[in-house]
């Protein structure tokens, strides 16, 4: 009697599991069948994503999204979104993937899954290639410009040598102007700001000297979509090894792709 009941329960559980598995659609399969992938990119956060002169979206994240669609062999539908929309759009299914300069943290990881890092996002020291600076100690005797009250100000103030002459400006525009005019030797800022300075002033030959605080960007994947996550991680590895991400980093950030963490 008990054996029959046990078998009946086991059969019921097997059918329930099978039913649940059948009901759960695999996102990767759905994308391939539909022939389209919907990817969320920054609405207005250059150089990761913004509207260009031709009124088309452009940027590092936009180009990466294009590579994703190409490797999947499907059509790309770009979905411009704000920072606050990234996780809601992903969890609700409005997008299949988020490639939008998003940092990974434990709070966000409660709602979505993160890929390995695909893009650099950091605060650092930038100066001419001719200037020999390899670490914070080399700022000794140098004139350093940064925007007061920023993350860069707080972090550098902890570690800068006493002989470094640090000038704190009221905003990024003033900081950049001082650096371009040669009033300071070293610009301490975020890599996206430095990328804009490099693009606008190619004769300055600006390069990254060292990183002060690193917080790279990760792709957002809907929780539970293991096949999608695994594919995305293989994609990132392939594009790092093949040099594609380095090419995009030099194009949009004006610097080589630094080592990026994996999850």
Matching fold, domains 10-121+216-253 and 122-214: yes
How many angstroms separate the CA atoms of 27 and 13, rounded?
25
Mind listing the pLDDT tens digit of every residue in the chain (263 residues)? Answer: 544 544 444 444 444 444 444 445 799 999 999 999 999 999 988 899 999 888 999 999 999 999 999 999 999 999 999 989 999 999 999 999 999 999 999 999 999 999 999 999 999 999 999 999 999 999 999 999 999 988 899 999 999 999 999 999 999 899 999 999 999 999 999 998 998 899 899 999 999 999 999 889 999 999 999 999 999 999 999 999 999 999 999 999 888 898 999 98
CA angle, 232 then 99 then 61, to 5°: 110
Question: Cβ distance 91 to 237 under 8 Å?
Answer: no
Q: Domain residues of the chain, as ranges?
A: 10-121+216-253, 122-214
CATH superfamily of 10-121+216-253: Periplasmic binding protein-like II (3.40.190.10)
CATH superfamily of 122-214: Periplasmic binding protein-like II (3.40.190.10)
State pTM to two decimals.
0.77
Q: What is the 3-state secondary structure (H, E, C) of 105-172?
A: CCCHHHCEEEEEEEECCEEEEEEECCCCCCCHHHHCCCEEEEECCCHHHHHHHHHCCCCCEEEEECCH
């Amino acid at each position: 009697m008990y054996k029959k009941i046990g078998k009946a329960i086991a059969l019921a559980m097997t059918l329930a599991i099978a039913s649940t598995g059948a009901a759960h659609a695999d996102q990767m399969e759905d994308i391939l069948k539909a022939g389209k992938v919907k990817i969320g990119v920054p609405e207005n956060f250059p150089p990761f994503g913004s509207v260009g002169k031709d009124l088309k979206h452009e940027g590092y994240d936009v180009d990466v999204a294009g590579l994703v669609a190409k490797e999947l062999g499907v059509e790309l539908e770009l979905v411009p979104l704000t920072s606050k929309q990234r996780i809601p759009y992903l969890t609700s299914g409005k997008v299949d993937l988020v490639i939008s300069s998003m940092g990974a943290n434990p709070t966000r990881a409660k709602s979505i899954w993160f890929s390995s890092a695909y893009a650099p996002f950091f605060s650092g020291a930038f100066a001419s290639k001719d200037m020999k600076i390899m670490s914070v100690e080399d700022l000794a005797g140098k004139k350093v410009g940064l925007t007061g009250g920023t993350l860069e100000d707080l972090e550098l103030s902890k570690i800068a040598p006493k002989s470094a002459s640090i000038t704190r400006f009221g905003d990024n525009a003033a900081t950049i102007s001082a650096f371009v005019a040669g009033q300071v030797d070293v610009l301490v800022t975020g890599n996206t700001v430095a990328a804009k300075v490099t693009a606008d002033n190619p004769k300055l030959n600006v390069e990254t000297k060292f990183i002060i605080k690193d917080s790279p960007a990760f792709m957002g994947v809907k929780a539970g979509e293991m096949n999608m996550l695994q594919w995305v991680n293989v994609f990132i590895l392939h594009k790092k090894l093949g040099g594609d991400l380095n090419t995009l980093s030099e194009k949009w950030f004006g610097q080589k792709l630094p080592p990026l963490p994996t999850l």
